[in-house]
Chains A and B, each alone.
Chain A
């Protein structure tokens, strides 16, 4: 329940943070010239409206928590609990793999780093068939290279290992 409530504050939280940054930044934009509004007008208006909307969203979330707090012993809907269970560990693993892949690719080269990345991501998706993983990964990397670099002329990095 507690995690659920925190998660429901995440989107309005992101909105509020964006509002703050936008307001703080657009205050420094050049002023309007010749009666015609300058670059600050639209971001300012949007930031204010977004701020109000996110406050309304937070209020809504608080109200819902109070309501559900009272009726907590009543039956909780099964779909809610299913949605709430986030596979944190696997999600973190995949995100880390993606970030690492992007950092390493220019240095290692496209085909080799992509092979490793696909193999690791298969592992994250719980596909564990030993050598099959690697065969799929290396094949996919070559096909992608052919498709993007050779056919579509996309410059892919070449590092110390292909």
Chain B
């Protein structure tokens, strides 16, 4: 009997303590809303891709270094699905108070053009661009093709090459299409579910070539399994300094993906500036640069204005390409 009573008392205690905690938490939140200097609580970065991927690593490393600048915890949340669409959409509907930042990527441009999502790049206020990765054309190392010229000649002679890419309408599909157009070679596009399976198929000899990010190819290049023939950047890349660009070789192929940060429209100017400054500083920290070097992340800063211009130019290009590919 006595034991039973104690149990009931204990239960009451737990319930009261628990509900007290709830009330205290909500009171604190209501009190804390006004008159605070940004940032006064945890900042979230929405990463629209799954944990462990390139964009996730980029967001997490940046968050780690920017925490010191902002003197606040920064959490990365992976809200994935729809090739990034779900994450972008939840970044847009988040309150425009600067506490939710979205990691934006090339897909912000391509998804709306494909007609798959109900938003457009202009719904975001872009903060800064951190990285730009060009496309890279790679073939198996044991093929006798050593230059882009030989590749073009070989492709024309055979009447076609199969080129693997990371998915229908993905940045590397479009890059391959742009390249095929400018090089004037017949191509069979073979979409895979991401870059890694495409590279695997290349190594296994199931496709003739791939167009993917150079960082993703690095392990295989170093292992001597594949070779990169050319990259789609304006200048040569630091980690493959001997590989020419398409431009050097006389083809106007400059294309690639990028990563940056954005907030929904309507975030107060002061908060936006503070965030931009903090992430800009983080980008220049030694830790982050070292991380980027190891992950073969090609750093390329652009401020909000330049970032927006670039995105708009790219939008027009992508729209044309998609139309030609029948993806629109």
Contact = CB atoms under 8 A, between A and B. Distances in A.
Asked whether any CB of A lies within 8 Å of a CB of B in the complex, the reply is: yes
B22 A161 contact: yes
A90 B7 CA distance: 28
A130 B5 CA distance: 13
Nearest to A138: B18
Given A135-B15, A155-B77, A161-B22, A33 B10 contact: no
A160 interface: yes
A76 to B, nearest CB: 45
A132 interface: yes
Contacts of B22: 111-112, 161-162
A112 B29 CA distance: 15
How extensive is the interface on chain A, given as a class?
20 to 34
Contact of A138 (B19, B23, B26, B76): B19
A135 B21 contact: no
A139 B26 contact: no
Given A112-B22, A161-B22, A162-B22, A131 B77 contact: no
Contact of B77 (A138, A153, A158): A153
A89 B79 CA distance: 37
Interface in A23-37: 33
A44 to B, nearest CB: 19
Interface residues of B, number: 21
Contacts of B29: 158
Nearest to B76: A153
A117 to B, nearest CB: 14
Given A161-B22, A162-B21, A153 B75 contact: yes
Contacts of B21: 142, 162
B26 A132 contact: no
Contacts of B11: 131-132, 134-135
A115 B12 contact: no
A20 B18 CA distance: 51
Interface in B291-306: none
Contacts of B8: 130-132
Nearest to B75: A153
Interface string B40-61: 0000100000000000000000
Given A153-B77, A161-B26, A142 B44 contact: no
Nearest to A162: B22
A160 B10 CA distance: 27
Nearest to A34: B188
Interface string A126-154: 00001110110011011000000000011
Contacts of A134: 11, 15
A138 B14 contact: yes
7 contacts: A109-B26, A135-B12, A135-B14, A138-B15, A141-B18, A153-B77, A161-B22
Interface of A: 33, 109, 111-112, 115, 130-132, 134-135, 138-139, 141-142, 153-155, 158, 160-162
Instruction: Give the 3 A-B CB pairs with smallest separation, nearest first.
Output: A138-B18, A135-B11, A162-B22
